[in-house]
Amino acid sequence: MVELTWRGSVAILELNRPEARNALNWELLSALEMRLGEVGEAHCVVLRGAGGVFSAGADLRERQTMNAEQRTQHTRRIAALCARIECLPMPVAAAVEGYCLAGGLELALACDLRFASESAVFGFPEVKLGIFPGADGPLRLTRLLGPGRAARLLYSGLRFGAVEAAALGLADPGDALEWAEQVAGNSNAAVRALKAGLRAARDLPFAQAQAVLREFREPLDGSDEYTAALARFPSRGYQHSE
């Protein structure tokens, strides 16, 4: 239900329930949780959906069979997976085609970047059903876009396409896999340290964030990889800057 393939050191996770628009039922969530445990050696991860659809969100037909407590636990399971994706040590890109709605958009927001095809459709329609996004999507969206833009999308429940997503800064045009391969060609140690440092410094005042980021940056100055890279440059003539 979630396929894992590799292209070099890039792990590709594909939600594979196209007959249900990759809706997030218990089985798919369990499969995604298992697959996330298998990407630890990847330099970069791409999350996408099969059948030209990223994910239409939680499986509402399955939720019809649940009581209130089961619905709550289902939402918390999605939230836990979002947190796990966000905390992966390597960069994660969402490759969005077709519907990326509700819980599906929450999964995409947990990624470092989102790349949207022309067919992409984003939205948080939960307010039309009597709830609001429960897997921390509103918090991530507000952090990403700012309170005003996030509120406009969250309160309206409207759907919007790739062009508006790019204008908002929610998603970029382009190929997620191509970007992931570029990342994978860089120093894995440097990229992982950068991601960890940015995450640790994210909510701190600037001066504190500086100190935290240096804790991740300065150990790299003495690494064998950096020393070897410096040795490859000529002692005279053009010098490549950091």
Distance CA 25, CA 71 (A): 11
For residue 237, the model assigns a pLDDT of 53
Every domain of the chain and the residues it spans: 2-182, 187-231
As a whole number, mean pLDDT of residues 108-115 equals 98
Contact 109, 137 (CB under 8 A): yes
Checking if the pLDDT of 93 tops 70, the result is yes
Query: Quick one: pLDDT at residue 38?
Result: 98
Q: What is the token pair recorded at 82?
A: 């979002």
Mean local confidence (pLDDT), 215-242: 84
DSSP-H helix ranges across the chain: 26-36, 60-63, 68-86, 103-109, 137-145, 147-156, 162-168, 176-184, 188-201, 206-217, 224-231
- Token look-up 């994660």 returns 92
pLDDT digits (tens, 9 = 90+) for 13-49: 999 999 999 999 999 999 999 999 999 999 999 999 9
- This prediction has a pTM of 0.94
Evaluate if residue 236 carries a pLDDT over 80: no
In the sheet with 44-49, reading across from the earlier edge strand, the strands are 2-7, 10-15, 44-49, 92-96, 113-116
Three-state DSSP class for residue 15: strand
User: What does the pLDDT average to over 151-162?
Assistant: 97
The rounded Cα 211 to chain-centroid distance in angstroms is 26
pLDDT at position 240 over 60: no
Residue 104: alpha-carbon gap to chain centroid: 11
Query: Does residue 232 or residue 241 have the better pLDDT?
Result: 232
DSSP class of residue 55?
A: B
| Beta pairing partners, 48 | 14, 95
* pLDDT given for residue 113 in this prediction: 98
For the segment 174-202, what is each residue's pLDDT rounded down to a tens digit? 999 999 999 999 999 999 999 999 999 99
Q: Does the pLDDT at position 225 exceed 80? A: yes
Residues in the chain: 242
Q: For residue 139, how far is the Cα from the chain centroid?
A: 14
The CA distance from 97 to 49, in Å, is 8
Residue 220: per-residue pLDDT? 98
Which pLDDT score, from 0 to 100, does residue 234 have?
Answer: 77
Architecture of domain 2-182: Alpha-Beta Complex (3.90)
